[in-house]
């Protein structure tokens, strides 16, 4: 039973001084599923993913990876367990080339004259180009600066990088937040590709229209508390929308507007 889940947070709370950021949240990520974490601003999504990523340690409750209790003291340790987080800032340097960004911190090297360790830029360029091509992004020249890429392409680059370096769990922090319709579509396709490869994904968003088509299950957060986890078969898009903070407000606004128009 336990090994059905790759990540488990059990009754986790996180306090910052007197502020209760998370209160008794339980989240279970099945192997190879896309799990959507929904919530409005301030619902505690960021705290939750930072806890998963090893930035924060839970104040109470337990965190298990592959059924094994863990306590990460740094993001590096989470990364070593194959838990890769792609934050909104993407950790990309716009002025550096695609290949140099792709391999930043994990540069491939070869020996020059069998002696001097130098960057293997040929391998870096080829690999970066290939991996991006697999994600459906064609970069003719991996030595072009990342600054020339669009937001969606950058998002894909960051995800491709995480997958290339052996992520088993991908945590994506609002990957579609700043993107247009078409680019969001590309990112959703990318998430689907990742699932096909057996990677488990936690997809954070507040956009139900992006979440619903791709997700296998949903967890809703509201004011630091979980409103429950639902399989896609058990819940409709409208129900998800309703449950999200603001869902009812939007509905009443719609009613009001329609009432006025009528």
Partner 1 sequence: MSAINESVTNMIPTSRAKAPEATTPTDERVRKLSPWRVLLDRPELGSIAGTVLVFVFFGITAGGSGMFALDGVINWAQVAAYLGIIAVGACLLMIAGEFDLSMGSMIGFAGVMVAIPPMYLGWPLWASVIFAFAGSMALGALNGYLVVRTRLPSFIVTLAFMFILRGLTLVLSTRFANSTIVSGVGEKFTSDPVVSALFQGTTLHWLFTALAGMDLIEKLPSGDPVVAGLPKVLVWWIVMAIAAGFVLARTRFGNWIYTVGGDANAAKNVGVPVRRVKVSLFVLTAFCACLFGVLQVADVGSAAADRGLQKEFEAIIAVVIGGTLLTGGFGSVIGACFGALIFGVVQIGISYTNIDSDWYRVFLGGMLLLAVLFNHYIRSRAAATK
Residues of this chain that interact with partner 1 (CB under 8 A) are 75-76, 79, 87, 89-96, 100, 103-107, 109, 112, 117-119, 121, 138, 140, 145, 147-151
Angstrom distance (rounded) from CA 142 to CA 154: 13
**Closest distance of CB 238 from partner 1, Å:** 35
Distance from C-alpha of 249 to C-alpha of 113, rounded to nearest angstrom: 68
Minimum distance from residue 233 beta carbon to partner 1 (Å): 36
DSSP 95: T
Shortest distance in whole angstroms from residue 100 CB to partner 1: 6
The smaller minimum CB distance to partner 1, of residues 135 and 240, is found at 135
Could you tell me the two tokens for 105? 């911190």
Say if residues 169 and 82 touch (Cβ distance below 8 Å): yes
CB of 188 to partner 1, least distance (A): 20
Least Å from the CB of residue 216 to partner 1:
28
- Minimum CB distance to partner 1 smaller for 93 or for 250: 93
Residue closer to partner 1, measured from CB, 112 or 231: 112
Residues in the chain: 262
Tokens representing residue 73 in the block: 């003291």
Contacts of 104 (CB under 8 A, 6+ apart): 93, 96
CB of 107 to partner 1, least distance (A): 4
The string over 219-253, giving b where at least 16 C-beta atoms fall within 10 Å of a residue's C-beta and e elsewhere, is bbbbebbbbebbebeebeeeebbebbbebeeeeee
Residue 210: partners with Cβ closer than 8 Å, 6 or more residues away:
176, 184, 188
CB atoms within 10 A of CB 151: 17
| Rounded least distance, CB 105 to partner 1, Å | 4
CB 242 within 8 A of CB 38: no
Nearer Cβ to partner 1, position 76 or 260?
76
Burial class (CB in 10 A: 0-12, 13-18, 19+), 81: middle
If the CB atoms of residues 34 and 169 are measured against partner 1, the closer one turns out to be 169
Tell me whether residue 136 or residue 213 sits nearer to partner 1 (CB atom): 136
Measured from the CB atom, the residue of 112 and 257 that comes closer to partner 1 is 112
């Amino acid at each position: 039973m336990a090994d059905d889940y790759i990540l488990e947070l059990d009754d986790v709370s996180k306090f910052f001084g007197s502020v209760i950021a998370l209160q008794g949240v339980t989240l279970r990520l099945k192997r190879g599923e896309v799990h959507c974490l929904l919530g409005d601003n301030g619902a505690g999504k960021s705290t939750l993913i930072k806890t998963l990523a090893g930035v924060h340690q839970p104040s109470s409750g337990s965190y298990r990876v592959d059924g094994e209790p863990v306590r990460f003291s740094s993001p590096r340790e989470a990364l070593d367990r194959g838990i890769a987080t792609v934050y909104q800032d993407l950790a990309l340097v716009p002025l550096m080339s695609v290949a140099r960004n792709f391999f930043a911190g994990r540069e491939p090297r070869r020996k020059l004259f069998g002696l001097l360790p130098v960057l293997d830029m040929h391998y870096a360029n080829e690999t970066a180009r290939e991996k991006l091509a697999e994600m459906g992004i064609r970069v003719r020249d991996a030595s072009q600066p990342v600054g020339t890429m669009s937001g969606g392409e950058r998002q894909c680059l960051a995800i491709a990088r995480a997958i290339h370096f052996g992520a088993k769990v991908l945590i994506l922090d609002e990957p579609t937040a700043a993107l247009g319709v078409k680019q969001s579509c590309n990112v959703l396709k990318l998430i689907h590709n990742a699932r096909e490869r057996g990677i488990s994904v936690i997809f954070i968003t507040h956009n139900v229209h992006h979440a619903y088509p791709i997700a296998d299950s949903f967890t809703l957060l509201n004011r630091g508390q979980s409103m429950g986890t639902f399989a896609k078969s058990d819940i409709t898009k409208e129900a998800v929308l309703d449950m999200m903070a603001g869902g009812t407000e939007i509905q009443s606004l719609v009613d009001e507007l329609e009432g006025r128009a009528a």
